[in-house]
Structure 1
Amino acid sequence: MGIEDALRKQIEAIVILTDNEYDLVLRHFEAKNYKKHQYVVQAGSSAPYDHFVSKGLLKSSFTDEDGKEHIIQFAMEDWWISDPQAYHNRLDATLNIDCLENTQALAISIDNREKLCVECQKMEYFFLKKTTAGYIALQKRILSLMSQNSEDRYRLFKELYPDLVNRLPKKLIASYLGISRETLSRLSI
């Protein structure tokens, strides 16, 4: 399945588009190719795109004043990634987004997204549903970090993202879960 087919499949899980409507959608996106270790967004710079990942794996993270990296999100095939605050508010990024694998994506600027939503109300509904799902997932993650022990967080991670367990180094999984690499090693069965 090609990159454009994957995007259409995801959109049509929420709204059905005619071929003409989908052609309109595609005119608002740009194809992007990134190399492993390349930054898509760096803290302090702009975050001009929201990326739909067709192939590859990315990581969104925040580095605190002590230089410690806190992983916010991973994004693999059929997932979206950006620095939402910077993207939607046209501010400098607070997050770094870098490629853990060579990555292909379709990217949409905020201007093109807003224009597309005016031109095709179905896409406004699609983005609303995707954003809402993202907020719900984030709320679940925060509640998990606040209320679950390390073992339960790891078990949930493996249940929700079985494909990521084998694609990510243990160090990154541990950081995402808010635990040490050593603790994760003790939990790995």
Structure 2
Amino acid sequence: MSKTLREQFEKLIDVTDDEFDYILSHFTYRKFKKHQFILQEDQLVLYDYFLLSGCVKSYYTDKAGKMHILLFAIRDWWITDYEAYYYQRKANVNIDCLEDTEVLCLSNENREKLCKEFHQVEHFFRKKTNRRNVALQNRILSLLSSTAKERYEKFILEYPSLVQKLPKHTLAAYLGVTRETLSRLYSSK
């Protein structure tokens, strides 16, 4: 369990065994079943979630009841409603499990504590935030300027392991297309 988190940290920073054990002590472990919510809209957001296993989706449902998938997370990824997490507000999004999922939960209070105590941990989270910002900007630009086929092909290239995990209606919602359009894209491959 802790090996995955340690590998995540060591991609960007060096930590001793003692430092890592101390960092890990600030996380809590949780296990969720397929279709269980990790986070629901209007719920106070207490944690950022690091996935040890499984697959989850973050989505918003508009007033017309249409689901808009913001992103997915798989093993070794972080996910939460960041606005609500940082500003101690209620969630605007839902996060639910597409398969059985195990996570490590980090409260904002514990993140701030670790960042104050370890410059390298602050560096780690800054780098992760920078990467997330770039990925979200690219996703927005793709939705604004790419065709459905281009978005689909890019998704396959960037996340080949996810394509097999996702139900077609879920992938279609992420790409911003109907299920029928996605079926046409599948068949044209």
Fold similarity call, TM over 0.5: yes
Residue in 1 that maps onto 2:106: 108
2:82 aligns with one of 80, 84, 105: 84
Q: Percentage identity across aligned positions?
A: 48
Q: Deviations over 1:127-165 (max 9, x none)?
A: 000011000000001000111101000000000000000
Amino acid at match of 1:47: V
Residue in 2 that maps onto 1:75: 73
TM-score (norm 1): 0.98
| 1:24 CA drift (Å) | 1.2
Q: Could you tell me how far apart the structure 1 residues matched to 2:95 and 2:146 are?
A: 27
5 Å-filtered alignment, 1:148-187, equals 148-187=146-185
Q: Work out the number of aligned pairs and report it.
A: 187
1:49 aligns with one of 34, 38, 47: 47
Residue in 1 that maps onto 2:91: 93
| 1:47 CA drift (Å) | 1.3
Residue in 2 that maps onto 1:30: 28
Residue in 2 that maps onto 1:18: 16
Residue in 2 that maps onto 1:6: 4
Q: Could you tell me how far apart the structure 1 residues matched to 2:81 and 2:127 are?
A: 18
Q: Could you tell me how far apart the structure 2 residues matched to 1:122 and 1:45 are?
A: 31
| 1:180 CA drift (Å) | 0.7
Q: Could you tell me how far apart the structure 2 residues matched to 1:108 and 1:121 are?
A: 17
Query: What SS does the aligned partner of 1:71 have?
Result: strand
Q: Deviations over 1:14-61 (max 9, x none)?
A: 001011110111011001111111111110111111011011011100
Amino acid at match of 1:172: T
Query: What SS does the aligned partner of 1:104 have?
Result: strand
Amino acid at match of 1:85: E
5 Å-filtered alignment, 1:132-147, equals 132-147=130-145
Query: What SS does the aligned partner of 2:59 have?
Result: strand
Q: Could you tell me how far apart the structure 1 residues matched to 2:55 and 2:181 are?
A: 24
Query: What SS does the aligned partner of 1:9 have?
Result: helix
Residue in 2 that maps onto 1:60: 58
Query: What SS does the aligned partner of 1:85 have?
Result: helix
Query: What SS does the aligned partner of 2:103 have?
Result: strand
Q: Could you tell me how far apart the structure 2 residues matched to 1:37 and 1:48 are?
A: 20
The unaligned stretches of length 5 or more in structure 2 are none
TM-score (norm 2): 0.98
RMSD: 0.6
Query: What SS does the aligned partner of 1:93 have?
Result: coil
